[in-house]
Homo-oligomer: A and B are copies of this chain.
């Protein structure tokens, strides 16, 4: 399953890191299906947009950037992490160890699931909470799909930053299931968890938001994160403060984003879209470094955690991981754990 090292310029060559773990994300499946806007550079292609590997050997021109034994993660999308060995340009990887506080090796500070899932969900949550609205002072945001990978990262990052999170989840089959999910998100640091039915009740939400803010004054989220669309985007838009921004990063309902005209005209709300790939392709390496250093620090302190379900990297493991993605909701992300990590 190794690349041919001769297919790359020598000066970029970064000899085989051994992949330790790689998650199965819904976007990986969309890429394989060909419905994702970015296509693999060549076919046949290896799947998997993120993962963690350990450096075994460094090409002559990259010795100033990587040291054998370090953990590395992708700096570029579409590298193909569902394999055991890979040879990629040095620019396409980020060494984790130098980012861990107090000189601790990444392998001691982070668990495999944290390291392997660092580049898609937590980065998306961090950027959306940072790049659209200044939430620093007594900020509050609202999100739907709050139990998704991005949603859980957003709850934890907001808590670490002192921002209140209003979290909308789909109503479950029973009140007990609703309560169990809410408890999970409260344990991560959620300020408020409501079902989509509760979120649609504007008057009830206004009262709940005032309680979260701890005062009777106007308390409205300045930012909404939307991965659902349809009626759920209407609920979010109605909660937003004057000049609030609704950022769409997914469309789980398969329905378009819907915005009441009056909210746009009279409340001056704004609808934007977020795509992590665009940020990665345009950000400076300093900006990327600063982002990953902050995320790694939160992970090392366990302020940012991820639940994963390990699968062996073989045909049965692949089938089981895919079945888990399609199956009933679970907070655990399917994660291939490679032989090198066992």
Contact = CB atoms under 8 A, between A and B. Distances in A.
A271 B274 contact: no
Interface centre among A261, A263, A278 (most CB of B within 10 A): A261
A259 B271 CA distance: 9
Interface in A224-248: 229, 234, 248
Contact of A265 (B249, B260, B263, B264): B249
A261 B273 CA distance: 8
B268 A257 contact: no
Contacts of A274: 265
A37 B242 CA distance: 14
Interface in A205-238: 229, 234
Contacts of A229: 261
Contacts of A275: 265-266, 268
Contacts of A267: 273
B258 A264 contact: no
A339 interface: no
A273 B278 contact: no
Nearest to A227: B261
Interface in A273-310: 273-275, 278
A264 B270 contact: no
A335 B271 CA distance: 37
Contacts of A234: 256
Nearest to A249: B265
A331 interface: no
A269 interface: yes
B261 A258 contact: no
A68 interface: no
The 10 closest A-B pairs by CB, nearest first: A264-B273, A251-B261, A271-B271, A265-B273, A248-B264, A257-B259, A256-B258, A265-B275, A256-B260, A37-B266
Interface of A: 37, 229, 234, 248-251, 256-275, 278
26 contacts: A248-B261, A249-B265, A250-B261, A251-B261, A251-B262, A251-B265, A256-B258, A256-B259, A256-B261, A257-B258, A257-B264, A258-B258, A258-B259, A259-B259, A259-B271, A261-B273, A263-B273, A264-B271, A264-B272, A265-B273, A265-B275, A266-B275, A267-B273, A268-B278, A269-B273, A271-B272
